[in-house]
Amino acid sequence: MNFIDKTKVIIRAGTGGDGKMSFRQEKFIDKGGPDGGDGGHGGNVVFAASRNHNTLAAFRYQRELLADPGQGGGTNKKHGRSGKHLIVPVPVGTIVMNAAGDEILADLTEDGQQVVIAKGGKGGFGNAHFVSSRRQTPRFAEKGEDGINLEAILELKMIADAGLVGLPNAGKSTLLSRISNAKPEIADYPFTTLRPNLGMADIDHESTLLFADIPGLIEGAAEGKGLGHEFLRHIERTAVIVHLIDAYNDNIVEAYTTIQDELGAYKISGASLAEKPQIVVLNKIDGLDAEIVEDLKAQLINVVSTGTPIHAVSAVAGTNLKALLYAIRSIVEEQRKAVEELKVDDAIPVLRLKEADNIPWNVIPTGGGFQVTGPKIESFAARTDVDNEEAIQRLRDIMKKMGILHALQRQGIEPGQKIHIGSKFTMEY
């Protein structure tokens, strides 16, 4: 399966079912009363984080996510069936953003976490719902409400305890294969790793760490050069960066600063990746004298940030790997304690799109008419049957109770002028 970590989808929640307008028609009953049932609600589109998924490749051929609509109401006050919710499994670490990519709508960081991304439309009321002492034979019913429709960008940012970074051929894949259950492709040429690999390392039979092997970075990676730019985002969620350097590199200081510059150039909310906790690892020390290893470590000490640990290992021979794992675990545990645990409500959160200034309604003069906006009145208008005069009159009554008609009158509305409510409904004053 190809590794896909960013894609665009169209999300459509189910439309609510229409309410039914009907009257009892039974033998020997001359004038039956209203008995139209309510329509069912449209299904929600729910994203569910799952450890069983590790790529967004499934969305390459399934761009549209559509929940079931609600069924219409029936006679004898029968309620329409509500549409089934569409449960969409996504990898843990998936972020849902708006179509422009500048606003995060949901962030699924835990296995089993669910978020309602698009809520289904409400079912319309049947005419039996509107029976009252003043309105005994209502001859109208509501239409079902449209579900939320939106275009969204899905982006996967792997959640790992430690991210392995370094120049191509630094030995990241070899290290991952030695300390974990991962089986990455390993070869002696650059850019063997073409996608991030995950591996679970057993530290002491009591604790484990999840490692992510990030494809080799080169100078200019943060600006889009090489393979690293597409995968730098996967380092954002790691608790610690494990920076591998090939001990046989002609200039290990330059190798270190090259990667540091790229980490520093990649910003997350104003902060660079270089500010994350790090461990510097001098790899491939097998075959080198102890004095040479110490000299190489001394060169690095002069350039690494104060307090950054430096380890010398051989991933191939397994030299000093246990000590390295314990050091990584120590930093990961410190980071976990530093993060305040968020209280999670038992209920599935519902994504609520922003409403402009949270104004209940607003009246704006337009050429030859007036535009009325507001979530509540727009919802009522969307459920109104434009071909039914009683339904139109009910909407006018609602507008009067809400004060909208008074506002229109104060702004000088005249008979025959158009009143536009939302983007779909128009009526005459």
> Residue 347 above 60 pLDDT?
no
State pLDDT tens for residues 195-238.
567 788 888 877 888 888 877 564 444 444 444 445 566 677 78
| Helices 321-338/172-179 angle, 10° precision | 90
User: What is the model's pLDDT at position 54?
Assistant: 75
At residue 255, what are phi and psi to the nearest 5 degrees? -60, -40
Give residue-wise pLDDT tens across range 90-124. 988 898 999 988 888 998 988 899 999 999 999 99
Which fold is adopted by the domain 1-156?
Spo0b-associated Gtp-binding Protein; Chain: A, (2.70.210)
Q: Mean pLDDT, the chain, as a whole number? A: 84
Residue 196: what pLDDT?
67
pTM of the predicted protein model = 0.70
Per-residue confidence at 49, pLDDT binned at 50, 70, 90?
very high
Q: Is the pLDDT of residue 157 over 90?
A: no
Hey, which CATH number is domain 162-338, 2.20.28.120, 2.60.120.10, 1.10.3720.10, 3.40.50.300? Answer: 3.40.50.300
For residue 228, the model assigns a pLDDT of: 46
Higher pLDDT, 70 or 93: 70
Q: Where in the chain is the domain with CATH 2.70.210.12?
A: 1-156
Q: Where in the chain is the domain with CATH 3.40.50.300?
A: 162-338
Q: Which of 224-228, 267-271, 421-425 has the lowest mean pLDDT?
A: 224-228
User: What does the pLDDT average to over 304-323?
Assistant: 91
Average pLDDT over residues 2-7: 68
Residue 349 has pLDDT above 80, yes or no: no
More confident residue, 246 or 348: 246
Percent of the residues in the chain that have a pLDDT greater than 70, as a whole number: 84
Q: Span 273-278, mean pLDDT?
A: 87
Say if domain 356-428 classifies as CATH 3.30.300.350: yes
Is the confidence at residue 242, as pLDDT, over 90? yes
User: Where does the chain hold its CATH 3.30.300.350 domain(s)?
Assistant: 356-428
- When pLDDT is averaged across residues 250-278 and rounded to a whole number, the result is 83
Give residue 114's pLDDT.
Answer: 93
